Amino acid sequence: MPDSMEYSPEQQAFLAHSPTDSARVLAGPGTGKSFTSVAYLERAIAANPDLRVGYVTFTRAATAEFAKKLEDAELSALGDRRPSTVHGFALGVLMRQRSARLPYPLRIPDQWEIRELIEPDLKARLLARGSNVNIRTIRELLQELAAGFQTLSTTRSKLAQEQPDLVSAFQGVWRVHRQLYGYTLLSELPMQAGGVLQDMDEAGVDLDLLIVDEYQDLNAADQRLLEEVAHRSVAIIAIGDDDQSIYSWRNAAPDGIRTFLSTFNASADYPLTLSQRCGGRALEVAASLIEQDSGRAPKPRLTPSDRANPTEFGYLRYRSNTAEARGVADIIARRLASGVAPEEIAVLVRSSANTWKRELADHLAEREIPVQDTTDVDATFAETGFRRILAIAHLMVNRDDSLAWRSLLHLTAGIGPAFIRLVEADTGSPIFAGRLRNLIRDDAQNSSAARKAREVVLELEAWLDEHSLEAVELGDDGWGRWLTDYVQAGELTQAAMDLLISADDLLQGVSLERFLAELQPTARDQAVTATGGVRIMSMSQSKGLTVNTAIVMGVEAQNIPRPGCDIDEERRLLYVAFTRATHLTVATFASRRTGGTARVGEPRVAQQRERSPFLSDLDLTPSDGTAYIPPET
């Protein structure tokens, strides 16, 4: 926030807070928490130039946005510590403080490695032990394993209660497999980092102050890690909003920020309740909606500041999904005609964004409306050329990277599961990489698969002997640019090269090991926040987004709230969607649906649909969408 801007009394109270004490900042949507955080750091550093500060938030895109604001403010408060995610912060702790509980160097498998290598292996090993499992069951077991890491408890595991023998067998197989291939799952990083700090007597963190943004998105393991940091005389400033806690899929819950003061023995509490983003009827509806949350503590209502726009609100009913799609396209066309840029318009849905995108595609194309072209990150990560270069990069970091060797064998025609099992059966090394070398040195192994594996290993190891990582000079470039220059022309698609190069902007100044560990989640964050056309995304992806116009589709019973989901979190999802726009928020629903959108939520193909109880409880009456004309900007 520029110095010339007048701070509200709420902001001034926080800006005067001592950086030696922990505090909570309850900041509603659009209340300027990032700008206020930058201003706070400016003042704190000016008063104490030696203050060691860290900054953590939920997504890598958010960390990049905050880093840009620090640069704009010409503030280097973080020094060499760039803003990071909680997983990135945990990874840093584990890289500085090696733990006997994990294989090193730290190796985080990406989703392709999990899907193509780890899951099939775990399935085969369980089948060999007599367990009747399929890939879907393996994924459920891995999800429950992650939930155990995130909640610090396995008591909530459904499979552990229903099939304890299967869960026990799976955990045994997984431990052996992770040791053989030397990997650490992304979901376990905060738990492991917290455990390392808990076991250590020395400091373990080089900080005086840690600012944690989006605190409501933390789970139990994340919070335990922060508690261990606080035990080292580090002040924690938690910034967030329990009204925007929407990530139960990673076991986050609003209770963390609601109980922060007692957990951290803090007394300083700073509410930010003036929305700079939106006002008017849209904010009134959003405020009334969130006040129905049964677990919500009493707090001042979010109200518009003098600078907020009087955001208008439209609640529209259509006879069918086709009429709805046509009506939404007409609204977008009118907003564009009145001067709103395409990237300033977002279509928000409960889930299955691609399904809704297909529903709108023809209507938007007829009106020549550009749509954001989101890179399919996981598809890019599955490209053969990309897999090969990632494997080679991992081997430059660690010659014994077993997942990298396994990936290269997997990509080589003629090397199948039988050969992999033969390698794994060797007892001369505890890791797959060592067993592979043992096998190719065995002259008795002369099958076609063995000869191909020998060629792959010997050729690449000869190359690695000539190309030391220590000899690499990046200059002003990052690892992404280096990797694209390093490969021969034609090995990487343009999408892969663009992904690598764009990651450099968020992963500056890190080691190749860390670049590779954070590449896929970084690329996913960038894909969500990309611009260039009208955005069609889920409500959860929109958190943190500010647009001129938000159109929330499918606000009807059986879709929002979703049956079987936590009713209060469903309400918070809709609240997030309703607080994104500065000028216009529109909610739509269709009385009948056919096609793809009829199957999202609770499938009700061609059946009569009702409006969402969230809005009927507010006594909101929908109007005829076909007669709606949006305001001009």
3-state secondary structure of 44: helix
pLDDT value of residue 29 = 94
Judge whether 9-96+200-272 and 280-374+531-627 match in fold.
yes
Contact 302/610 with Cβ under 8 angstroms? no
Euclidean distance between CA atoms 3 and 42, whole angstroms: 10
In the three-class reduction of DSSP (H, G, I as helix; E, B as strand; rest coil), residue 209 is classed as: strand
Sign of the dihedral through C-alpha 340, 343, 346, 352 = positive
Question: Can you give the C-alpha Rg of the chain in angstroms?
Answer: 26
Find tokens 């490695």 and name the residue.
113
Q: For residue 237, how many C-alpha atoms fall within 13 Å in the half-sphere facing its CB?
A: 28
According to the model, what pLDDT value does residue 5 have? 54
Q: For residue 529, which of 335, 374, 300 has the smallest C-alpha distance? A: 374
Which stretches of the chain score pLDDT less than 50? 1-4
- The 10s digit of each residue's pLDDT in 124-159 is 999 999 999 999 999 999 999 998 899 887 665 677
pLDDT of residue 228: 95
Give the per-residue pLDDT at 62: 61
Top CATH class of 280-374+531-627 equals: alpha beta
Q: Do 314 and 281 contact (CB within 8 A), yes or no?
A: no
> Torsions phi, psi of 83, nearest 5?
-55, 145
With beta carbons less than 8 A apart as the criterion, state whether 469 and 459 touch.
no
Topology of the domain comprising 379-526: PCRA; domain 4 (1.10.486)
CATH 3.40.50.2300 fits 9-96+200-272, yes or no: no
- Give pLDDT, residue 3: 46
Q: Domain coordinates of the chain in residue numbers?
A: 9-96+200-272, 111-180, 280-374+531-627, 379-526
> Locate tokens 């958010």: which residue?
62
Strands (E), 530-628: 535-538, 547-552, 581-592, 623-624
Please say whether the beta carbons of 30 and 276 come within 8 A: yes
Sheet holding 23-27, edge to edge: 84-85, 53-57, 209-213, 235-240, 23-27, 268-272
Per DSSP, what are the bridge partners of residue 536? 347
Give me the phi and psi of 102, to 5 degrees please: -130, 150
pLDDT at residue 80, rounded to an integer: 54
User: Which one, of 454, 481, 501, 468, lies nearest residue 396 by Cα?
Assistant: 468
- DSSP string for residues in 591-603: EE--SGGGGSSS-
**pLDDT score for 108:** 93
